[in-house]
Structure formats: C-alpha cells, structure tokens
Structure 1
Amino acid sequence: MGGAEVKHSAGILDGRTVLITGASSGIGAAAARVFADEGAAVVLTARRAEPLEKLAAEIHAQGGRAETVVGDVTVPADVTRIVDHALSAFGSLDGAFNNAGWGTLGTPLHEVDDAVYDRIMDVNVRGVWNCLKAQLPVMSRQEGGGTIVNTSSTAGLFATGAISPYVAAKHAVLGLTRAAAAEYGALGVRVNALMVGSTRTELMEQAIEAVPALERAAVARAVQKRLAEPAEVARAAAWLLSDRASFVTGGAVPVDGGCSAV
C-alpha cells in the first residue's frame, strides 16, 4: 500500500450548510461535531459566546468549517441575523437543527410560576416558530430546497413526569413540524422532529448529581434501560438532514431507547 492514495468517502452532509441552535452544550454541541464530521459547514448559535468559540475552534482543528453567532431564538431579529450570517458565510442554508430548549423538573402544575410557563413556551415553542419563519422562506426559494429537524421529546407524545408546560411545549413542536412539512413539502423542504428520550447532557448530569434516584426514574420506561449519549441523538438528526432520509417528512422519529414502544 506504500504510496497509494487514500480515498475518503464523502459524509452524508457533504457540501451542505447546517444551522444548529442550542449549540453551546449537550445535544447541540454533539450535533456540531457529528455534522462537521459528515462534511457539513456548521453555523453554531446559542446565547453564550465562549463555549461556541471553543467548539468552533475544535471543529477547525479537525479540518471542518464552522461559524458562530451569538443569539437568542426567542428574539425574531436575532434569528433573522443568524440565518443571514449563514447565507453570507457559506452561500446557502441547506439544513437546520432547531434544538434549543429549556425546562425544569418536579413542580406540580398548580405551583408553576407564570414566568416559568412563559419561559418554557418562549424557548421551546416560540423559538422553533421564529426559526421556521426565518428558515423556510430561504429554503423554499433556493435550488434543492432544504431540510429541518426540530427537537421534540417523548414528552411530546405522553406525560413523562417533566413539568407540565414542557410536556405541552413539546407537543406543540410536533404540531408545528407537521404543519410546516405539509405546507412546504411541494417547495422541496422536508421537516421532521426527533422525539428525544432522557439524554446524558450537562443539565441531566447536574440533576442526577443532586438527586441520584432521578437516573433510575429517567430510564425506567426505556427498553434499553440507559440514558442516551448526545452523539446518538445527533446521528439521528444527521440522517434526517441527509438524502438518506429523502422520503421522510412530517415525522416524529423516536430516539428514546424504546421508551415510546411500551
């Protein structure tokens, strides 16, 4: 094999520009690494600059392409600016992973403060709404259309024990996903959602450290009896964003270790 050229197969997102919200940690950061490894130019956004810059530097060191834009998905002007940055940096917006979310645990419905309800709805529902409003016109006008994946949850299918506004919000994400898929399919845009089960993110680790019994409760319903690793969720998103999922739209794809099967 001496002197022979080593040929590397193209990744499933090769040549595409993909925007990732909530990219500073957890599933979003894992998606940045996975998508870049699959050949995508990634545009990373979240509210915290430092982790975004560190992640982008890591991707650059591996030979990938990454841009960072600090912004808040609950602010329409921020989302428009983020999409515009993707277009100016890479010339297109071929995919989007609308992953930013927020929730809390353990508060009965009648004790949930209105401000907590508003925050959960703003980030999880209005955030996806703002992203779709900015992304869909771009993708529907460009040659080749585009693909969008929204992060929902098993809480979008049934009450998981998560705080009640979070359950309602993740149901709403599935509704927005299906409506967008139906409205923009003829324009070449596919829209799907991931129903994510309990995942070993930084927030989950902190919660388990505070209440160790939470881990057993979090995996009790799952067939596989374990938490997902963020990269496992990210790989499912990469597949949906790729041409390998070309006949999948309007879907709610479970990545939950079998939680929704029982």
Structure 2
Amino acid sequence: MTQPTYDFSGRVAFVTGAGSGMGAETARWFARAGAGVVLADIHEALAQSVAKELADAGLAATAVHCDVADEDQVAHAVQIAASEFGRLDYAFNAAGIHVPATDIADEDAKYFDHINAVNLRGVWASMKHELSIMRRQDSGGAVVNCSSISGLIGNPQLAAYDATKFGIIGLTKSVALHYADRGVRVNVICPGTFDTPMVRTQVDAGDISIDEILETLPMRRIGTVDEIASVVLWLCSAGASFITGAALPVDGGFTAQ
C-alpha cells in the first residue's frame, strides 16, 4: 500500500521486535516519515540488516540487541535512543512470541513464565523505560503496544498466550489513564492473522491452515505488515490526538462477528 504522508522530522521512534515482520515494517515507515529510529530485536543481525537498508537510503536508523525478557537489556536499548538521538517521541512495542497449543493441565510453570516474560513483562519493561524519558519532555509522546485478537477473545489450548495478550490490554489502559493529562498517549493494537514470519512458521509446522483461517475472516484474506505500520503511525500522529487507552482490532472483521 502507499504510505500516508506524515512529517515526523526531528522526532525519534523506538521499535521492539524490529528485525522482521510488523516491527521491521513499522520501523521502515517511521524512518521514511523522517523520524530517527532505534530498532531493537533479540536477533540483532536481522535488526542490523533493516537498519542498514534504511541508512543506505539516507535515513536515520540504528540497531541494538535486546531481549525484552531482560529488563536491563530493555533499559540499555531505550537509552540508546536517548543518547544517540537526544529524545524519544514514539514507541511501538511489537516484540512477542507464540507457542504451540497445549492443554493447561499438561503445562510446566516454566512454559507460562517464559511466554509471560517475553509478551507481558517485556511490554511492561519497555513502557517503563520509554516513559521514563517521555515524561521529562515537554512534547510528551505516544506509545503503541501490540496485543492480539487473542487479547479480546479466548482460544482453546492457548491459555498462557491469551493471558499475556489480555494482560497487555489491561496494562495499556492503566498506563494510558495515568499519563492522559501528561501529554503521553498509550494505545494498543490487536492484530488478527498477518503475513509474518511467525505465522509462516506456524503454517509450515502444520499448527494452522491458511485456508481454514480465510474461512473465518469476513475480508477473506490475511493482513499485510504495511497495514499494521499504517495503523501504528496514525496512532502516533496528530490525527489520533484525542485517542488514548484504546484497544484497536486490526483483524479483517474477525472480532466483529
């Protein structure tokens, strides 16, 4: 799709999970809109590749290794944005993992702890350190977290995963209320099925079937990553200046049924 025009010149964006999929494409869109971008990912080589692509195009981007399950790494990555670009205006917390379906009665606590550490605590740690910078700025900022339609509806055999995605929505709403009168807006998107490496891995493993998914979608297609990037940039723009604490489904109509 054609990228809408935004002028984020002089602004700085921080993106987790920026090495591939939704995070990578959103980082590209921020950079093309004029923002300096810090791409954080546990797979540093992937983030470096995207950052180089942007730098080669004359855009401002830097990559940093970051496992969001490790708060110290998150703090360091966010600080890179502040030290390299002098400020932080936007954040897209996209890092997350999926897990195979399982019966909760068979789950080990380590299974729950791992997915919680990445999906929920990772967003908590990211916001904690992003907001520690944004709250000191007169211009405020905007944060967009990434949940899922699994944060809006339950799914059998995905109890631990759904718990983290529901948790991200509650976390977002709480923080949005606290910062509503401080110039920082905090929203959360709830993607459905998108063409990402994570989904392709699930398809290849036989965990999901694209044909079966299409049958459940009113729009009869899966989403593309640029359709996520467009929503994130809009939520960070002046066009969404009166929106905070919202949980926005981006799912081809799935949750409208």
- Check whether the contact 1:45–1:82 (CA below 8 A) recurs between aligned residues: yes
Across the two proteins, how many residue pairs are aligned to each other? 254
Question: 1:1-262 alignment to 2 at 5 Å?
Answer: 11-161=6-156, 163-211=158-206, 214-262=209-257
1 CA distance for matches of 2:201 and 2:67? 23
Q: Which has the larger radius of gyration?
A: 1
**Which one is further off, 158-167 or 211-220?**
211-220
Cα distance change on mapping 1:160 and 1:220 into 2, 3 Å: farther
Cα distance change on mapping 1:17 and 1:161 into 2, 3 Å: farther
Cα distance change on mapping 1:106 and 1:212 into 2, 3 Å: closer
Alpha-carbon displacement from aligned partner over 1:179-224 (angstroms, at most 9, x marks no partner)? 0000011111000000110111112112212328621333333211
1 CA distance for matches of 2:60 and 2:214? 36
* TM-score, length of structure 1 as denominator length: 0.92
- AA aligned to 2:197 is E
- Check whether the contact 2:103–2:157 (CA below 8 A) recurs between aligned residues: no
Alpha-carbon displacement from aligned partner over 1:131-152 (angstroms, at most 9, x marks no partner)? 1111112111101100000000
2 CA distance for matches of 1:186 and 1:46? 31
Gaps of 5+ in 1: 1-8
2 CA distance for matches of 1:117 and 1:214? 25
2 CA distance for matches of 1:137 and 1:186? 16
Runs of 4+ in 1 over 3 A off after TM superposition: none
- Check whether the contact 2:66–2:74 (CA below 8 A) recurs between aligned residues: yes
User: How far off its partner does 1:113 sit?
Assistant: 2.8
Gaps of 5+ in 2: none
User: How far off its partner does 1:99 sit?
Assistant: 0.7
* TM-score, length of structure 2 as denominator length: 0.94
2 CA distance for matches of 1:69 and 1:39? 20
Cα RMSD after superposing both structures: 1.6
2 CA distance for matches of 1:217 and 1:11? 37
